[in-house]
Amino acid sequence: MPVSVLAAASTPSVATQLFGSGLIGLREGLEAGIVVMILAAYLVKAQRRDALKWVWLGVAIAVAMVAIIFFAIHYGTSTVDGLTAEIIAGVASLVAVVIVTIMVLWMRTAAKNISGDLKAGMEKALIAGPVAILSLSFFAVGREGVETALLMVGYAENTAGSSWPLVGLLLGILLAAVLTVAMYFGALRLNLTTFFRYTAIFLIVVAAGILSYGVRALQTGNVLPGGSNLAFNLTPGYDPSTWYGTVLAGIFNFRPDPTVLQAVAWVVYLVVVLALFLRPLPSKPTEPTAPPAHDTHVPEKS
């Protein structure tokens, strides 16, 4: 039975779809919101409010691009069916996992320098002109947006064409916008390091589920072998309609009868990526301390 059919048979609950996609929207939206906040604050401080319109235009274009990517992923496979749809879904899932993994690991080291890099970039963009300002905001926000759209692959392919993941995503982004405004005006203080650390771990687990889904889809499409070799089968005693069943399927793409290749891919991905993400950051090399100067004072003769 094709993966899409199995997914349709146990479509996650509305609450699960809203929670999973909403958390992704909150996390990624907050990242993008902080980027916009840094750029806007710099322009206000530099008394260049006239350039804000180019920042907002860049943000609007980035959001439109993300919406196009999301709808292409979410509804693109509806134009094809059978094994072709499974292959497309599998390839899209693997691409999503690669890009999301790169972004999560990159943000691990880049987050502490992102404010300085954005301010330096805006300083140069102000000299270059409106197109440079627009491009800076577009790429800064678009980077987060593409990651968001790709993360939604798992929901787009596991909800039988439901629109609830999109609703949850938009609600999460809306909440992120409210929190960003509150932080900008000093009404809210949030430990961003802790927030991004734990939500990044959540995204890694989600990505592992998307990888597992992609592997099974490619096995169903006869691109990868081993589609009939199950690692285990909990189907007889597993009820996908329970709260935990809908949460596991809707957020983490869990299925009670994974193939050996699926299970291996899931475990290896989690072990390797979590190890890379959680390893201590290299400490900055300390500058060598200058040796104490020799006392060259010659005492006066009495």
pLDDT tens string 184-211: 887 677 776 777 788 888 889 988 988 9
Q: What is the pTM of this model?
A: 0.72
Task: Confirm whether 285 is domain-assigned.
Answer: no
Which pLDDT belongs to residue 184?
82
Using alpha carbons, list the distances in angstroms from residue 146 to 59, 88, 186, 241. 13, 18, 29, 32
Which pLDDT belongs to residue 211?
92
Query: Could you give the angle at which helices 260-278 and 83-110 cross, rounded to 10 degrees?
Result: 10
Which pLDDT belongs to residue 12?
59
Task: Confirm whether 290 is domain-assigned.
Answer: no
DSSP codes of every residue in 88-143: HHHHHHHHHHHHHHHHHHHHHHHGGGHHHHHHHHHHHHHHH-HHHHHHHHHHHHHH
> What is d(CA 256, CA 238) in angstroms, rounded to the nearest whole number?
7
Task: Confirm whether 288 is domain-assigned.
Answer: no
Which pLDDT belongs to residue 147?
77
**Total number of domains constituting the chain:** 1
**Domain extent for 245:** 12-276
Task: Confirm whether 119 is domain-assigned.
Answer: yes
Which residues does the chain have with pLDDT short of 50?
Answer: 1-10, 287, 290, 292-302
DSSP codes of every residue in 193-256: HHHHHHHHHHHHHHHHHHHHHHHHHHHHTTSSS-TT-BS---GGG--TTSHHHHHHHHHH---S
Partners of residue 230 on adjacent β-strands: 259
Task: Confirm whether 69 is domain-assigned.
Answer: yes
Task: Confirm whether 296 is domain-assigned.
Answer: no
Using alpha carbons, list the distances in angstroms from residue 230 to 28, 226, 233, 252, 258. 35, 8, 7, 19, 6
Task: Confirm whether 177 is domain-assigned.
Answer: yes
How much helix, strand and coil, in percent to the nearest 5, is found in the chain? Answer: 75, 0, 25
Task: Confirm whether 284 is domain-assigned.
Answer: no
Which pLDDT belongs to residue 74?
64
Contact, 148 vs 67, CB < 8 A? no
Q: What is the dihedral of CA 154, 157, 161, 165, to 10 degrees?
A: 0
Q: How far is CA 231 from the centre of its chain?
A: 29
